[in-house]
Structure formats: structure tokens, C-alpha cells
Amino acid sequence: MAGFKGMGGNMGGGNMNQMLKQAQKLQEDMARAQEELQNKTVDASSGGGMVQVVVSGKMELVEMKINPEAIDPEDVEMLEDLVKAAVNEGLRKAQEMASNEMGKLTGGLKIPGLF
């Protein structure tokens, strides 16, 4: 055991410190990027612009506009479908934006728990 302990002190001590510093920097960069994503938005629409949405990098719907022509009391289901399609497209675009931003930091590595 004493020999093993002695080897551990000599082997890779500098490399381990360097790796820890790199990991800490990556964590700080990722936290900063996540903060920046909160302020970024994407636009999406459906029905040829009848329903328009803005989604944040936090995956929140921040704005929605519905063209009055899309409001037909006889066909509420069509409006529901347009809203659902626009919101889903906005969320997909926001997810893609977040993945791209995080991918810049991780060099394309897929890290579980990150976007």
C-alpha cells in the first residue's frame, strides 16, 4: 500500500490539476452560455404566418400573435392546430439553438443533462 500511495503522488499530479481547471472553466463557460440563452429568442409561425410565436432559450413562450382571420368560431380546432404547430416549431428551434450554443463549448460532445 505504501508503494501505491507513493506512486500516486508522482504520477499525473499536474495533469489532474490541469484537467480539474479545464473542467471548472467549462462549467463556468456553460453557466454563462445558459444565462445568455435566457435572453435569446427564436421566431416560428404556422398557417402562413397566421400564428406567430417567440420562444426563449429557456424554452418559454414569450410572445404570441394570432391573425384575426385565423379566428373562426365555426372551426376552433383549426386555430388550436395552428397554435400547437407554431409553439412546437418554436420549441424545436429554441432547442436547436441551445444545442448549437452548448455544442460550441463541448466540441460537439453530447453530455447527458445538457440540452
Instruction: Encode pLDDT of 67-112 as tens digits.
Output: 999 999 999 999 999 999 999 999 999 999 988 887 777 665 555 5
Q: What is the CATH number of the domain that holds 76?
A: 3.30.1310.10
Residue 49 CA: distances (Å) to CA of 25, 45, 107: 42, 5, 36
Beta carbons of 64 and 52 less than 8 angstroms apart = yes
Structural domain count of the chain: 1
Q: Is residue 25 part of a domain?
A: yes
Per-residue confidence (pLDDT) for residue 111, from 0 to 100: 57
Prediction pTM value: 0.67
Q: Is residue 33 part of a domain?
A: yes
Per-residue confidence (pLDDT) for residue 7, from 0 to 100: 47
Q: Is residue 20 part of a domain?
A: yes
Q: Is residue 48 part of a domain?
A: yes
Whether the predicted pLDDT of 62 surpasses 80? yes
Structural domain for 75, as ranges? 12-106
Q: Is residue 73 part of a domain?
A: yes
Per-residue confidence (pLDDT) for residue 1, from 0 to 100: 47
Per-residue confidence (pLDDT) for residue 101, from 0 to 100: 80
Q: How many CB atoms lie within 10 A of CB 72?
A: 10
